[in-house]
A and B are shown apart, each in its own frame.
Chain A
Amino acid sequence: MSYSIPRSYLLSGVILVLAGFVYWEAENIPSLTTDLSVVDAAFFPTAIAILLAVLALMVAWQGRNNTSDRIVFTLTPAFRKAALFVGIMIAYALALPTVGFELSSLTFLMLTMWLLGMRSKVLAVVLSVMVTSLIYIIFINLMYVPIPSLLKNL
């Protein structure tokens, strides 16, 4: 099942909603000055929200004669794969503090390699170990980046 909408109308709608949200948020920023509102923290966000709204309307106006350029919403296998990768990345980031860099990276690399079509288990393991070791040496040993690490805590 799929649903489509003209690209310019969708863009216009998204930007209008965003502009409204920014304007509303800016309204809630307390004012510190009475005579020079330009100096207040809300001035710039408000101005940008108004400009975004104007531009969003312009996009809709410009796109009124080109409704054939449409965005199709459909869950293709490729789109699902992209969404799955985003999910795996979030899971990796969540696992880092508890499982540590070494285990989570090995799992992440092997899983993503398998999902992208690598079928040799030995090669996947060898490559994952090599890449994890290299990143460990560069980032943790040489650049002193404090990535949560099991080896460092031993």
Chain B
Amino acid sequence: MDAFVLAQAELFQPHVLFMLFCGVCGGIAVGSMPGLTATMAVAIMTSFTFHMDAISAIMTLIGVYFGGIYGGSISAVLLHIPGTPSAVMTARDGYPMALRGEGGRAIGIATWSSFMGGLIGMILLMLFAPLISKFALRFSAPEYFALAVFGLSIVASISDKSLTRGLIAALLGILICLSGVDPMTGMARFTFGLPDLYSGFQFIPVMIGLFGLSEILTQLSSQEYRFVAQKLTKIIPSWSQIKQLNVTILRSALIGVGIGALPGTGGAIASFVAYNSARNNSNKPEKFGQGVPQGIAASEAANNASCGGALMPMLTLGIPGDAITAILIGALILHNVQPGPMLFVSNPEVVYSIYTGGILASLFMATVGFLLAARLFARLISFPRYVLLPIILILCIVGSFAVNNSLFDVYVMIGFGVVGYIAKNLGIPLTPLVLGVVLGPILEENLRTAIVMSQGEFVFFLTRPIAVFFILVTVFSLCFQKWKANRRMR
């Protein structure tokens, strides 16, 4: 109890709150820029925190983390360019809303869902961190493989009109990940003699090209351009709207925490799974992808809740839940705080300040989102096309370069922009393709590792209860969708 009071006394000092607020604002600004990810922002901000005391430093980074994940939704909604990988699904329903002039409302829904997701994530972190972390430790290669298979079953939900084309898209996505040096054997695959390809295609330039540039090329090659004035009213969701979204947000946040707690997964997979779940539980699943608030709510609640989830193994076991928490571990160690089981004994005030700091960061994020971000950014996309498109194009280029400080990534982005444009014209949906890119490495690496573990015995999977559970959930989910589709047909 003393440690809790001490933590609050340290946290509620004006300069610490100010740093947390600045972190949130900076995170939102960075996350909303194509190519600048929350991971990059946290990494860079770490160097600025050297001279700070431990609590101020941790609060700044927590602010950047939460703000950055939320910020990705802004460019996803308004420009169809997910600022962060976890905002891919937000773009699916957010952008159609922006095309209807409801960009402000869409950002409002994203803000509310992100706030609630972040809040639920932190509450679950406080209550169940040790329990969920212990469960997450039981995940090994077969379980991760089964989880990835479950993730791929989402293709059935996001394939627009044709499942066959959705599957082709997902396989093409997996194919993209195969380029580079094979992590298990060290053999180079699909590198075509290019040294830049030895580390494979970077995810962000691929995503910017597929979503952002292909959209611009489609606009340029269509004969008419429709200017959409954005309504800036009703940005804060009404009470009735909130009531409609409550169940989706709660379910998605639980999914986000669960998946976020698994090391090596992260917000992108959480938002895919939550979106699929929201669609399966909807009375009008066919409306998903055409601009429904539930689609945005599911994705945003899940990816923000995954922050709380990712902090669980970090705090309790010293294992990073994702790339950002890996950097946070480094930052904590820099300030003489060692994450892991002993943290609760040696520095309990740090743990309590992270709990409260996460909740405050969510509050600041909602305040900045509602009062400033939604109005400001929605106004920005009301600029004339001859101003807006060049700015987006240059952001696509600079953002792709920023990922790895490499011009090769700019060419990759342009290449995938053209690929995305061709794919759209051939009727290949792009979201399953990105799903394949996200899940491909997890699928391949864990299948092969599991096979090695079992000495080639595929039956091995059946001896793993969690893996069997995910396989059964996958089968059930596919059957349920088929049954629902048949019922609608009748």
Chain A interface residues (CB < 8 Å from chain B) = 7-8, 10-11, 14-15, 18, 22, 25-26, 29-30, 32, 35-36, 38-45, 48, 51-52, 55-56, 58-59, 62, 71, 76, 78-79, 81-82, 85-86, 89-90, 92-93, 96-97, 105, 108-109, 112-113, 116-118, 127, 131, 135, 138-139, 143-147
Whether B393 and A85, one on each chain, are in contact in the complex, defined by CB atoms closer than 8 angstroms, is: yes
Number of A-B contacts defined by CB within 8 Å = 162
Interface contact B394-A78, CB-CB below 8 Å: no
- CB-defined A-B contacts under 8 Å, sample of 7: A45-B175, A48-B178, A52-B172, A89-B393, A96-B401, A96-B410, A135-B395
B448/A82 in contact, CB under 8 A:
no
Q: Which residues of A contact B247 (CB under 8 A)?
A: none
Residues of A contacting B427 in the complex (Cβ-Cβ under 8 angstroms): 7-8, 11
B451 within 8 A of A: yes
The B441-487 residues at the A interface (CB cut-off 8 A) are 444, 447-448, 451-452, 455-456
Contact across chains for A45 and B394 when beta carbons are under 8 A apart: no
Could you tell me the distance between the alpha carbons of A22 and B175 in the complex, rounded to whole angstroms?
Answer: 9
A11, B428: Cβ atoms closer than 8 Å: yes
A11 contacts B426, C-beta separation under 8 Å = yes
Report Cα–Cα, A44/B41, bound state, in Å: 34
In the assembled complex, which residues on chain B have CB atoms less than 8 Å from the CB atom of A143? 30, 36, 40-41, 44, 402
- Checking A35, A55, A139 against B171 with a beta-carbon cut-off of 8 angstroms, the contacting residue is A55
Q: What is the CA–CA distance of A10 and B165 in the complex, to the nearest angstrom?
A: 13
B345 at the interface (CB under 8 A from A): no
- Residue ID in chain B nearest A55 by CB atoms: B168
B369-414 with Cβ < 8 A to chain A: 384-387, 389-391, 393-395, 397-398, 401-402, 405, 407, 410-411, 414
- B-side residues, CB < 8 A to A, are 29-30, 33, 36, 40-41, 44, 162, 164-165, 167-168, 171-172, 174-175, 178, 182, 184-185, 187, 189-190, 216-217, 220-223, 384-387, 389-391, 393-395, 397-398, 401-402, 405, 407, 410-411, 414, 417-418, 421, 425-428, 444, 447-448, 451-452, 455-456
> Within the complex, what minimum Cβ distance (angstroms) separates B227 from chain A?
12
CA distance A127 to B389 in the complex (A): 13
| Distance of B413 from chain A, by nearest CB (Å) | 9
Contact A116 B398 (CB under 8 A): no
Q: Determine the distance from Cα of A18 to Cα of B153 in the docked complex, in whole angstroms.
A: 24
